[in-house]
Amino acid sequence: MVRPLLRRVLPRTLLARNIALLIVLVMLTQVCSLGVLLHYVQRPRVDRAAAVFATYVTTLDNLLAATPPGARSALTPRLDARAQLPPEATDKPPPSLAHAYRNYQRDMFLDSLRAHLPADMPARWQTEGGERLWIRLHAPADAPQAPYWIALPIPEDAQGNGLEVAIFLSLGLGALAALAGYAIQLHLNEPLQELARAARRVSAGEAPAPLPTDGPTEIAAVSSAFNQMTHALQEADATRALMLAGISHDIRTPLTKLRLSMAMAMPHGSDSSFVIAAESYLDQIETILQQFMDYAGSGEREAPLPGDLNALIERLAGDFAGLGHEFELSLAPLPALPYRPISMMRLLMNLMQNAIVYGGSGLAVRSWAAAGTVTVAVGDRGKGLSAQELEQLKAPFQRGRNARAHSGGTGLGLSIVERIARLHGGSLQFHPREGGGLEVWVVLPVAAG
């Protein structure tokens, strides 16, 4: 239960998590430091200041009580002694969010002062018209009905000005630490973003440049391991291409010799049904071999060139029309799209050939552009398949139930299409066609390469 709650509360990115953690740690450190400072440093200072101030007030009270009446009459105006407390004086300073700590320290000072003074000597705080502390002294023996209220300056230790500045400075240092952490995390994120971009290029079949390994040790180790991986993949790809080329040559050579041998071995005028059947099987073998070669190649080494995708569709549709298969075209204007010409032609030919073989009727090709993408949809009126079956057709060697009656295939057609679409940064999608049948969508980004 705690873990799902943390997933919802924590930010999604590593940068935001580290910044949040840094801010929390800085604030926790500041709160702990402030608590230690208030309890073990500032409170004893305020208590000592209140005790000294109480001693001063008590001494002044005793001095006035011992002063002769004539001298007292001349002294009290100089002390601004008053018989009545001014209305501006209150039990405690008024609350203020901007001066919360100063008010807290003054309250602490007043509480400590009242603890050191006699109970019949109250203290009041005046903030309006100047900050002063009013203390009521005892009434003289010769005038018991006239107690004095004396205004005294507030001790520096009760002000809290210096510590308030220190708190704001500490908060500023905390914000500076958070900004420094943000800058450091951005510096660390840069090689991680380069690694992510390189990984996407590898997944698209490209060969990215080696990543720099001159950063922090941990990032450098990851970059070095990634460079080793891409180098191993490139070597494996080169080995695969060499092996496939060898297989293609070694298999096609004896197939060609077999055709010639059968043609030469059959007497002139004999029944050629056997030769026709054998050549049909040989054609199937060559078709399967070519599909394997197409799946293994998929055009990684072919450079993308800007071109008109609609022109390629129209040319292929014309070729199929010459073979007796008419495609209804609905082509919207498309932006210039960089694509690999041979690979894209192979993609469209596979989709159109599948529509002919497995759909049979209602052959159509549509194209349109929207939201930075170009979509080509090849449709037919064949029997539809379930979503699960359609997704399975993307995997190599998978064939739908509508392909069971057709021989000569390997189940690689849609796998080749998906690999080529991914090579161009796009995707392969299946959609039911309005009025029945199926449409296969190839969605390509306009900035594809």
> Taking each helix axis from N to C terminus, what angle separates 161-203 and 217-265, rounded to the nearest 10 degrees?
10
Q: What is the pLDDT of residue 410?
A: 46
Region 18-44 average pLDDT: 77
Question: What is the Cα–Cα distance from 405 to 403, expressed in whole angstroms?
Answer: 6
Model pLDDT for residues 419-449, shown as the tens digit of each residue: 888 888 888 888 888 888 888 899 999 875 4
Contact (Cβ atoms closer than 8 angstroms) between residue 92 and residue 125: yes
Domain map (residue ranges) of the chain? 2-166, 204-297, 302-445
Comparison of pLDDT for 386 and 358, the residue scoring more: 358
Cβ neighbours for 436, distance < 8 A, ≥ 6 positions apart: 362, 381, 384
Domain made up of 204-297: CATH architecture: Orthogonal Bundle (1.10)
Q: What is the pLDDT of residue 433?
A: 84
Return mean pLDDT, the chain.
76
171 has a pLDDT exceeding 60? yes
H or E element, residue 445 = strand 438-445
Question: What is the Cα–Cα distance from 25 to 364, expressed in whole angstroms?
Answer: 63
Q: What is the pLDDT of residue 200?
A: 81
Fold of 302-445: Heat Shock Protein 90 (3.30.565)
Q: What is the pLDDT of residue 388?
A: 60
Which class would CATH give 2-166?
alpha beta
Among 428, 432, 422, CA closest to 442: 428
Region 181-200 average pLDDT: 80
Contact (Cβ atoms closer than 8 angstroms) between residue 290 and residue 251: no
Q: What is the DSSP string of 159-177?
A: T-HHHHHHHHHHHHHHHHH
Model pLDDT for residues 83-126, shown as the tens digit of each residue: 777 777 776 666 666 566 677 777 788 888 888 888 888 888 77
Please state, in angstroms and as integers, the Cα–Cα distance from residue 212 to each residue in 11, 221, 223, 428, following that order.
29, 10, 7, 34
pTM (2 d.p.): 0.45
pLDDT band at 172 (very low <50, low <70, confident <90, very high): confident
Model pLDDT for residues 286-343, shown as the tens digit of each residue: 766 666 665 555 555 677 888 889 999 999 999 889 888 999 999 999 988 888 888 8
3-state class (DSSP) for residue 271: coil
Region 209-230 average pLDDT: 83
Please state, in angstroms and as integers, the Cα–Cα distance from residue 423 to each residue in 129, 252, 263, 309, 311, following that order.
79, 29, 43, 16, 21
